[in-house]
Amino acid sequence: MTTAHDTEGADLEVVEVVDAEIVDDELLPTTLTPAAPAKPPVDRHTILYPGQDLATRADAPSYTRRDFEVSPATAERLQNKSKPKNTNRNYTNQRRLFAEWCEAMGRVARPCTTATYVEWVAGMIARDMSPNTISTYMSGVRTWMPPDLKPDNTEARGMLNEHRKDWGKRNRVRKAPPITRPMLEAMVGTCDLRHPIGLRDRCALLIGRAALNRRIELADLDIEDVEVEEDGIAEWVAFSKTDQAAEGQETWIPADPDNPLYDPVEAVRDWLNCLHRLGVRNGPLLRALTSAGTLQNRSTATLRGDYVTGDAVNDWVRGRAYKAGLKDWHKITAHGLRRGGAQEIADAGGDPTKQGRWKEGSATVKKEYLDRAQTRAENPWHKVAEKRRAEAAQQ
């Protein structure tokens, strides 16, 4: 008997096959024995048109081994099919914890019953875990089940929704503060442009805010992804949160020639020249450096290689906030570059959707930026201020 397994930790449906039935080009029996009546291969999804004969298993094609096999190259692609490494690790961990819980409770882990699934979710709610964390655990475990044996999700989702309401009242999410233009200028002002680290950080700060980059987008940028022109930079984002198919998208960053210190074109040029002096002509744009300004040895960085992590970009940004003496500098992250840039665009009457690679009609953009800008612009206290100014002008 053979069993097919998914290489990402999610077992496929077990298929029982008699070894003697699978040989090269030998026909596999697909019809019933002559002594038994042929039963129609239908289920509740079958649609029969008027006058159409009811098909029988005798009408089914005869398969050979060749119909089920894939080539070695295809097998390798299946084993390495694209899914974020973090997602794979998280799913593996979630399923392991669920299996351990089931074993401790004397329950079957796979395929589990709906009652087991609901009891497990209720336990996570009782421990007051974050609703988003519980949701990802539920997804990781449910996708682990065979396609036709997944537990019903209705009751578990209902419990989670009630928990989400209560949890939200007690745990208001505090987002990273937006990095405003004055804050950005103060942070860039701490960059020593005579040192490679200063040149790198200025480059990351300016293009990160102008292109509304997520931190991992910055970390994944290649030198080839930034095309410097006189009036701006064409930044190619090969993959993003809203581009899981990796179709890629170009983002234009206008130059700021009136402010050379804060001009992204000058910042990228200066950093590229520095990379050339360090002997780097291609590969990752942002590099890990030693305190002396030389390239760090990345031979032991097996996961990302020469590419830095999103956490490293966060550290650079927070470090600049600290050096600039910004209030609550410890709360500032690289995401503040994206929030600050999007907020400034919305406050000026623009729509940051395309620049930030959000999906068309994004609820996040509408709620966090467009509605916020409109609400503040239409605040009734502005009318009061206008009246006071008018009265003062008449006196």
pLDDT digits (tens, 9 = 90+) for 259-306: 989 999 999 999 999 999 999 999 999 999 999 999 999 888 878 899
Q: What is the pLDDT of residues 65-112, one digit of tens each?
A: 888 888 888 887 777 665 555 556 678 889 999 999 999 999 999 999
What one-letter code names the amino acid at 94? Answer: Q
Choose the final residue of a domain: 45, 69, 93: 69
| Pair 192, 147 in one domain | no
| Pair 166, 205 in one domain | no
| Pair 240, 325 in one domain | yes
| Pair 112, 12 in one domain | no
Q: Please, are residues 369 and 343 in contact by the beta-carbon 8 Å criterion? A: yes
| Pair 152, 193 in one domain | no
User: Concatenated DSSP letters for 189-242?
Assistant: TT--TTSHHHHHHHHHHHHHHHTT--HHHHHH-BGGGEEEETTEEEEEE--BTT
Choose the final residue of a domain: 149, 170, 191: 170
Tell me whether residue 51 is in a domain. no
Domain membership of residue 147 as a residue range: 85-170
Tell me whether residue 265 is in a domain. yes
Residues 19-48, mean pLDDT to the nearest whole number: 50
> Which pLDDT score, from 0 to 100, does residue 336 have?
94
Tell me whether residue 388 is in a domain. no
pLDDT band at 10 (very low <50, low <70, confident <90, very high): very low
> Which pLDDT score, from 0 to 100, does residue 33 have?
44
> Which pLDDT score, from 0 to 100, does residue 361 have?
87
| Pair 149, 11 in one domain | no
Q: What is the pLDDT of residues 193-250, one digit of tens each?
A: 999 999 999 999 999 999 999 999 999 999 999 999 999 999 999 887 777 777 788 9
> Which pLDDT score, from 0 to 100, does residue 349 have?
93
| Pair 11, 100 in one domain | no
Q: Which long-range contacts link 262-265 to residues 24+ away (Cβ below 8 Å)?
A: 262/184, 262/185, 262/188, 262/206, 263/206, 264/203, 264/206, 264/207, 264/210, 264/232, 264/233, 265/228, 265/229, 265/230, 265/231, 265/232, 265/233
| Pair 138, 104 in one domain | yes
| Pair 328, 236 in one domain | yes
Q: What is the pLDDT of residues 117-135, one digit of tens each?
A: 999 999 999 999 999 999 9
Count Cβ atoms within 10 A of the Cβ of residue 288 and give its class: 0-12 exposed, 13-18 middle, 19 or more buried.
middle
| Pair 114, 255 in one domain | no
> Which pLDDT score, from 0 to 100, does residue 25 have?
40
Domain count, the chain: 3
pLDDT band at 343 (very low <50, low <70, confident <90, very high): very high
Three-state secondary-structure class, residue 108: coil
Tell me whether residue 344 is in a domain. yes
Residues 316-345, mean pLDDT to the nearest whole number: 95
The pLDDT > 90 percentage for the chain reads 60
Tell me whether residue 42 is in a domain. no
Q: Which residue has the higher pLDDT, 133 or 52?
A: 133
Tell me whether residue 334 is in a domain. yes
pLDDT band at 24 (very low <50, low <70, confident <90, very high): very low
| Pair 102, 144 in one domain | yes
Q: CATH number of the domain that 153 lies in?
A: 1.10.150.130
| Pair 210, 348 in one domain | yes
Tell me whether residue 363 is in a domain. yes
